[in-house]
Chains A and B, each alone.
Chain A
Amino acid sequence: MKLLDFLKRERKKSASVAKERLQIIVAHQRGHRGQPDYMPMLEQELLEVIRRYVSVDQDAVNITLDSEDDCSILELNVTLPNSKDDT
């Protein structure tokens, strides 16, 4: 009986886990809305270049495109691991 209760309680959470995951996914997707079509490719290739030198996670690279009056600014943020963790 105890075990059954435990299993039930564990299962209760799956919908809320789904919700939390979706909130993150959707926020990420919306951050990329309205950007030029080449941005995902650019982001991917930049990540590959950086990975030739440092090993970083998928989400270590963050690029955004801001438009101002007469120009666009490409902002690139790379989170590098602590150097002592490296190699």
Chain B
Amino acid sequence: MAKIIVVTSGKGGVGKTTSAAAIATGLALRGNKTIVIDFDVGLRNLDLIMGCERRVVYDLVNVIQGEATLNQAMIRDKRTENLFILPASQTRDKDALTPEGVEQILNNLKDEFDYIICDSPAGIERGAQLAMYYADEAIVVTNPEVSSVRDSDRILGLLGSKTRLAEQGKEQVKEHLLITRYNPHRVDHGDMLNLNDITEILSIKLLGLIPESEAVLRASNQGVPVTHDDDSDAGQAYADTVSRLLGEDVPLRFHEAQKKSFLSRMFGGRR
């Protein structure tokens, strides 16, 4: 039985799609059969991050409306074994997604996969609520910024009330905090919320910390999830995040500013 994990945030542009792609890739690289589903109907871009945009024929909405089978719509990742993508529609409007349709798709996938990763659209409305509704666990993506932290708190409120698990009242959706675009230099200067403050304010468990990194843009340019760039800080940080998701105890990295060497300071290293 697959574990359903929603990647969500409230605020837009904080790194949900980047994270969903990177984490799904990491899970598959570790031998778990994984599918990542784009719930951002109308604004799909998971396929771009995964580098499979030219292989999209059918999408989530086609399947829900019976115009294609699940097998026709699923795209097998070219690089990673065990990894599949279910793209969103670019043209339909958001109302094409129905709770019943989503439930049916998830039920059909549950037996075949170990992990189902749902890439949520931004916002706290219908689309975001549908993406989280059937989740067993949630990864709340947060940037070290007031508006992002506030929205994350609102998402936590929804996870605790507007999900199937919450409505059944038996157990809660397991909540994980993923801080992204973290810049330890700015934190040191007192210009950015530090990770302890964010975890304290939201009071959920920290799953991972992804530094602000040039590798992320490079990865999205190439359409290769950043997890494959295992020399990069962000790639390694996502790999650590996946390990923790799998229950391993991995120490935190990339949360402290690298001391600049004398030479790089002299000759103006990158900032």
Binding site for B on A (CB under 8 A): 11-16, 18-19, 21-23, 25-26, 29-30, 33-34
Give the distance in Å from the alpha carbon of A36 to the alpha carbon of B154 in the complex: 15
- CB proximity of B90 to chain A, nearest CB, Å: 31
- CB proximity of B143 to chain A, nearest CB, Å: 12
Give the distance in Å from the alpha carbon of A19 to the alpha carbon of B187 in the complex: 12
Chain B residues closer than 8 Å to A16, beta-carbon distance: 190
Q: Determine whether the beta carbon of A33 is less than 8 Å from that of B157.
A: yes
Chain B residues closer than 8 Å to A15, beta-carbon distance: 187, 190-194, 197
Q: Determine whether the beta carbon of A26 is less than 8 Å from that of B201.
A: yes
- CB proximity of B150 to chain A, nearest CB, Å: 5
Give the distance in Å from the alpha carbon of A12 to the alpha carbon of B149 in the complex: 20
The contact sample of 21 A-B pairs, CB cut-off 8 A, is: A12-B190, A12-B191, A13-B190, A14-B191, A15-B187, A15-B192, A15-B193, A15-B194, A16-B190, A18-B193, A19-B201, A22-B146, A22-B149, A22-B150, A22-B197, A22-B201, A25-B146, A25-B153, A30-B153, A30-B157, A34-B160
Q: Determine whether the beta carbon of B190 is less than 8 Å from that of A33.
A: no
Binding site for A on B (CB under 8 A): 145-146, 149-150, 153-154, 157, 160-161, 187, 189-194, 197, 201-202
Q: Determine whether the beta carbon of A21 is less than 8 Å from that of B146.
A: yes
Q: Which of B146, B190, B193 has the most CB of A within 10 A?
A: B190
- Please name the residue on chain A nearest to B161 by beta carbon: A34
Partner of B160, one of A11, A21, A33: A33
Give the distance in Å from the alpha carbon of A29 to the alpha carbon of B147 in the complex: 13
Give the distance in Å from the alpha carbon of A15 to the alpha carbon of B149 in the complex: 13
Partner of B189, one of A12, A30, A33: A12
Q: A22-B201, A25-B150, A34-B160 are in contact. List 8 more A-B contacts (CB 8 A).
A: A12-B189, A14-B191, A15-B187, A15-B192, A18-B193, A22-B149, A29-B150, A30-B157
Q: Determine whether the beta carbon of B149 is less than 8 Å from that of A11.
A: no
- Please name the residue on chain A nearest to B158 by beta carbon: A33
Give the distance in Å from the alpha carbon of A19 to the alpha carbon of B191 in the complex: 11
Give the distance in Å from the alpha carbon of A11 to the alpha carbon of B185 in the complex: 13
Closest 6 CB pairs of A and B: A12-B190, A19-B197, A33-B157, A15-B190, A26-B153, A18-B146
Give the distance in Å from the alpha carbon of A22 to the alpha carbon of B160 in the complex: 20
Give the distance in Å from the alpha carbon of A22 to the alpha carbon of B157 in the complex: 15
- CB proximity of A25 to chain B, nearest CB, Å: 5
Chain A residues closer than 8 Å to B157, beta-carbon distance: 29-30, 33
Q: Determine whether the beta carbon of B190 is less than 8 Å from that of A29.
A: no
Q: Determine whether the beta carbon of B193 is less than 8 Å from that of A26.
A: no
Chain A residues closer than 8 Å to B187, beta-carbon distance: 15
Chain A residues closer than 8 Å to B145, beta-carbon distance: 18
Q: Determine whether the beta carbon of A26 is less than 8 Å from that of B197.
A: no
- CB proximity of A37 to chain B, nearest CB, Å: 10
Give the distance in Å from the alpha carbon of A25 to the alpha carbon of B192 in the complex: 18
Give the distance in Å from the alpha carbon of A15 to the alpha carbon of B145 in the complex: 9
Give the distance in Å from the alpha carbon of A11 to the alpha carbon of B187 in the complex: 11
- Please name the residue on chain B nearest to A19 by beta carbon: B197
Chain A residues closer than 8 Å to B153, beta-carbon distance: 25-26, 29-30
Give the distance in Å from the alpha carbon of A34 to the alpha carbon of B157 in the complex: 8
Chain B residues closer than 8 Å to A13, beta-carbon distance: 190
Chain B residues closer than 8 Å to A12, beta-carbon distance: 189-191
